[in-house]
Amino acid sequence: MKYATRKQMRTMVAAAVIATSVSALTFGSYPINAKEHSGYTPAQAVIDHLNKDDWSEIQKLLTDIYGSVTSPLKITDVSQGKYTQGQLMGNGDIGVIAAGVSTTSQQFYFGKNDFWGTTHGEASRIRDQAGVLSGGGLDIWPTTAAGSSASSVFNMKQDILNAQVITNIELKDNDGNDAKLEMNSWTADTDNVFVTELTNSGAGAVTLNTKLWVPAKAYPGGGAAEMTDAQTTYPYTGGIEATAHNHILWTTRDSSPGESGSSSNYRSRMATAATVVGAELTNLRETREANDYYDHYSKKYQESLGEAGDFTVEPGKKVYLVSYFASSSGAFDKIKSVEDVRSDALRGIAAYRSEEAIVQLKNEHLNWWKNYWLKSYTQFNDPELNKYYYGSLYILGSSNRPTSPNGKVNPQNLPAPMYGSWIPADNMGWGGRYFLNYNQQAHYYGAGSANRIDTAVPYNHVIAYNLPWQINNAAAQGFDGAAHIRSLTPFNALANPQPAPIAKDPVKTYGFDDSSTDQKSNGLFAAIPMIFYYEYTLDKDYLRNVLYPYLKQLMNFYSDYVVKTDDGNGQYHYTVLGSSIHEGDSADINPDLDIGAMKYLAQFLTTYAPEMKEDKANVSRWKDLSEHTFFPEAMLPKGTFNANNSSNFVPTMIATDYQSPNQPHVDMIEPGDQPVELEGIVFPFQNVQMLDGDKELLQKVRHTLEYMNAWAATSFSGWSSQNNGFPKVYAIMARAGWPAADLIAKFDTALAAKIKHSNLTYHSSGGAVETVGAMEGLNSMLLQSSTTPLVPSTIWVLPNWDMNKSVSFERMGAKGNVAVSSAYDASTKTIPYVDLHSKRNGIIALVNPWQTGKAVVRAVNKDNTLGDAVKYDIIGGKIVFYAKDNTRYMVMNDSRKNTRHVSGINLDKYSSTLIVNGADGTDTTAVTATVYGGPDDTVTWESSDKDVVRVYGKGNSVTIKAVGTGRNKVADVTVTARSQRDKGISETVKVKVADASTVPTGLQLVSPDAATIYGPAATDPSTAKVMSTNRLQLTASMEPGNAYDKRIMWTSSDQNIAMVDKNGLVIGRGHGTVTITGRSMANPDLPPVTATVTVTAAGADHSADETLANVLTAAKAISQYEQDRTGEGGFTRVSASPHWEPNQEQFQKAYINALGVKAKYASYRATDISRDTAYFAAIALNEAIRAIDPRKALDIGS
């Protein structure tokens, strides 16, 4: 059954009830009659919380959380074309990788977030694409032999508390005795400076060598697989500058050669200067050798240009090795010269030539990180969760920051790309650019709830600046609004003026192409951190001037792009054609990402339309789009996917309504894979969550999670929780109400398999920094929130936590700009308090954490003592009060009161279909409500249209009866059950009512009842994705033509031989013969249709079948794909028939299948095609042509 969430309706009702109740109050803090809480004493946990020394707690928590290396790292682990295993430091502009590749040395690799160019190689292939280039590095080498205990002394510690890497080594001193040295390395936070403090605890002096280097080899482009001198690709220089204080080593690197060289008008130049404070640089020399720069593609060290010198660390003394980074990036003809950038680096390092200056810099560094850690913290009482969580917060804070207050760090205000600024070589996978189909946004998935939404500011800046280009993308394809490409660089933001709008092409091209705008959902993905920023800050200027106009452009695109599909009887839905659920072939139909994008955009825009003074026609259109788009779903066996499981079918959310034949395909759902089926529904598109969420939809989400089993830890097919799914699946699980203990167990299992102990990062086979996004899964277990203009903050603490585990958190971010602290004591099963720090004026609605007792709300004084009591109401199961700006409120429970609170209603059904005057009781259904927290409470029932549905009976069990269908023969209404004690608590039953004349009366096969297809000899029952198999499209017709529900439930007698999806598409899995059965879902009593399908080994290829070719030629009179392929530029409308739009969805299903058969599924996995596979594809397409223009259909016989 196609499905539309009613969350918005219930939320609006509750908000209206809250607003009405609060409007009677005089806003402010209200002293309560002393008798109300006479004798109430706050729990000791409240007093302890108020008196807590947060910094001491954080120090205790983080002291035992650090990355550790006890034996030298392999260079192949440090520089591998993907997320490094080296230890990491950064300030949001510069990034430093620390690696000891021997027990007596230290290597540092540098990157800078604006030093981009066109890279010519990747970890495993040669390919030109935009990416961040290596900034070279710095080495520290011994000039003496290793100490006698060098192997056991060597260790490296990534100390996240103080944001430094501590390295211990043992060398022979200059007299031949053992001497231990400690290196403390850190990146400054108020300037682009990197410091290594070297302390000699031995009895004799130790002389070391340091070398500042820059790559001297590079791939020259044009597909060349051998490196050449980088002067022709990324020009470089180096030298040694003599000054009155000490010598300075310097290097430069340019992202392009030649006077006018550039990447999309962009060019960047970088210079690094290094010197020693506390010792003299001697034995100065320039080197050119292959022992620093490791290229993963060629699997060997390549030449670098080095500027080197020696320095001596006296016994008991400390010496500072200081590096300074300068850059100039932007339009190639406007940036600084190499010499000017070099001069900037030399001037910059001159400010740090004294120990006093370095100590001040270090103090500023420690203070920055102290403030960062104090923003919020959580004690999970689970060592692995703590390690991942704080390691991720460290990565987020090290890689993503807005411009520093003094303007010296990240002055260009750029976000961290895929790998941050941790770039050991010019060969990072995918170039490391900003990918908009989740990778980049995942950096910020947990930023708002972790109270660090400022980390998203640079990203939002780049995305907003690029909007005019996206508007022109849509116009070039003939559409209004903005259509987003898959990835971005900083080139436009730094180098190019925003373009003027171009004229809209008069011809609409659906689908576009597979390299840029394949996924139409990229637009909302791009905007997700922008939405988070507003929701967590309530920055009205940002809403008005940036966010709302941006989202409106996205909705304008969808409004123009969708086609209106006729469902008969005055019913219709909107269809997204030519989009893609995954990267690649842009021919999927109704991807859940696009449906979710439209629904979320409609909800957001209509919510804020009044204050934006929006045109009423636009609001009406947005509501229409939301109400008439439906998340794709199918009936699938309950439980984890297995071909042996073929019973107990339950409604399950799927990725698309029809998937391109050039994509992996099993029921439009991919077990073991990342949960793309749910991103558009739950997170990050935020259409439903446990907080005020649609319970029926959430149950379907849980069915999907169970079916997919997408958290495999040791083996998997596709991109499960080990890979792209890791930042996604846990937030979805938490928000959907997956059992908390099992969620934590699965999270821990994934962490055990993939966390790198050297630097606390989670390593997937895909990206890098994005893996911090799984923090939101943990945050969503502790806190879920929402915001609207009426109720700025609705908050639920511990919505989905394992109540056998104690937990506490301080100052988590809630939407509506409120910081939330709370705790749960598993030993006493109590939540002693909820601490709410409001940073704005307005209502807070807190889901009541206590089923019995009486809530106590008191302001918190500036001295952390409890102040005046605050008046509140209980509405919708929530404690509702007006909060003042910059005021804390302590919400507690007076358990002496035995008051019971209604917390929710469950219904035994949330949807039903009734037939007016239907036989055998099909015109009625019974519904029972269960009230939680108030067993003596009863509910009232109300129909949204009593001329269609009436409610008979009173109390918690009633009968719903269909009495009419309104203007058409099919109608949709809701019946609401509402608590009598708390009218803000309600649930709805969605009722579809159909006239008896629209009930299906006949079902016939149009395609033959027997077929042979090619497929594998056998497939393991647990294997979901089947390669090299045919896909047979069955076609059936139903009577009457205006049947209210034309869905057919297709099943296979043996799924190990062949499976069949909801569209009647049969997929071979093993040799043998099966019966495929189709039954009317609206009238299961109808005689079913059956087809016998035999799966054999591949034989003669019929992809060039004449009948199929002729029908495909006829189809061009309806719609035409560029180059007759689905991924080569999309399709355009050809037919002028008025039936083109109403029937285009069904036509495209048949068309893309037929094109895939003709191409032998070559874009996915080429395979020979059986005669029946080709013929059945022709039949389906011919029938789809007939529905639009019967004159164009062919007589193709049998």
Confidence band (pLDDT; 50, 70, 90) for 582?
A: confident
Region 156-185: mean pLDDT is 98
**720 to 25, 89, 575, 729, 1021: CA distances (angstroms):** 51, 29, 28, 9, 18
- Is the pLDDT at 872 greater than 80? The verdict is yes
- How far is residue 682's CA from residue 727's CA, in Å, rounded to a whole number? 13
Q: What is the pLDDT of residues 733-787, one digit of tens each?
A: 999 999 999 999 999 998 998 899 999 999 887 779 999 999 999 999 999 999 9
- Is the pLDDT at 335 greater than 50? The verdict is yes
Nearest to 659, CA basis, from 598, 579, 575, 716: 579
Region 1-19: mean pLDDT is 43
* 480-494, 558-572, 576-590, 991-1005: least confidently modelled range: 576-590
- Is the pLDDT at 121 greater than 90? The verdict is no
- Extract the tokens encoding 803: 């109540």
- Is the pLDDT at 274 greater than 60? The verdict is yes
Q: What is the pLDDT of residues 401-441, one digit of tens each?
A: 999 999 999 999 999 999 999 999 999 988 889 999 999 99
Nearest to 123, CA basis, from 164, 178, 78: 78
Q: What is the pLDDT of residues 646-697, one digit of tens each?
A: 999 999 999 999 988 766 544 567 777 889 999 999 999 999 999 999 999 9
Confidence band (pLDDT; 50, 70, 90) for 1155?
A: very high
Q: What string of DSSP letters covers 333-380? A: TTSPPHHHHHHHHHHHHHTT-SHHHHHHHHHHHHHHHHHHHHT-EEE-
Residue 674: what pLDDT?
Answer: 87
Coil/strand/helix, residue 847: strand
Average pLDDT of the chain is 93
- Extract the tokens encoding 902: 């209604």
The more confident residue out of 567 and 1026 is 567
Region 319-323: mean pLDDT is 98
Backbone torsion region of residue 940, taken as left when φ is above 0, otherwise alpha when ψ lies between -120 and 50, otherwise beta: beta
Q: Is the separation of the CB atoms in 823 and 860 below 8 Å?
A: no
Residue 935: what pLDDT?
Answer: 75
Q: How many CB atoms lie within 10 A of CB 143?
A: 15
Residue 736: what pLDDT?
Answer: 97
Q: What is the pLDDT of residues 339-352, one digit of tens each?
A: 999 999 999 999 99
Q: Is the separation of the CB atoms in 482 and 468 below 8 Å?
A: no
Residues in contact with 859: Cβ distance below 8 Å, sequence separation at least 6, in sequence order:
29, 866, 867, 868, 870, 887, 888, 889, 890
pTM for the full predicted model: 0.96
CA 265 to chain centre: 31
Say which residue the tokens 């950096």 belong to. 443
Structural domains of the chain, ranges and CATH numbers in brackets: 67-391 (2.70.98.50), 433-630 (1.50.10.10), 904-998 (2.60.40.1080), 1002-1192 (2.60.40.1080)
Residue 2: what pLDDT?
Answer: 40
Confidence band (pLDDT; 50, 70, 90) for 38?
A: low
Residue 167: what pLDDT?
Answer: 98
- How far is residue 751's CA from residue 738's CA, in Å, rounded to a whole number? 19
- How far is residue 968's CA from residue 569's CA, in Å, rounded to a whole number? 6
Residue 662: what pLDDT?
Answer: 67
Residue 20: what pLDDT?
Answer: 43
Region 457-464: mean pLDDT is 98
Q: How many CB atoms lie within 10 A of CB 837?
A: 18
The dihedrals phi and psi of 425, each to the nearest 5 degrees, come to: -160, 170
Confidence band (pLDDT; 50, 70, 90) for 975?
A: very high
Residue 1150: what pLDDT?
Answer: 97
* 363-372, 556-565, 893-902, 1137-1146: least confidently modelled range: 893-902
CA 400 to chain centre: 16
Residue 244: what pLDDT?
Answer: 87
Residue 1164: what pLDDT?
Answer: 67
- Is the pLDDT at 499 greater than 60? The verdict is yes
Residue 26: what pLDDT?
Answer: 36
Residue 513: what pLDDT?
Answer: 64
Q: What is the pLDDT of residues 276-302, one digit of tens each?
A: 999 999 999 999 999 999 999 999 999
CA 923 to chain centre: 44
Q: What is the pLDDT of residues 221-241, one digit of tens each?
A: 888 899 999 999 999 999 999
Residue 957: what pLDDT?
Answer: 96
- Is the pLDDT at 1071 greater than 80? The verdict is yes
- Is the pLDDT at 268 greater than 90? The verdict is yes
- Extract the tokens encoding 928: 């029972």
> 3-state SS of the chain: helix, strand, coil percent to 5?
25, 30, 45
What is the DSSP-derived secondary structure letter of residue 304?
E
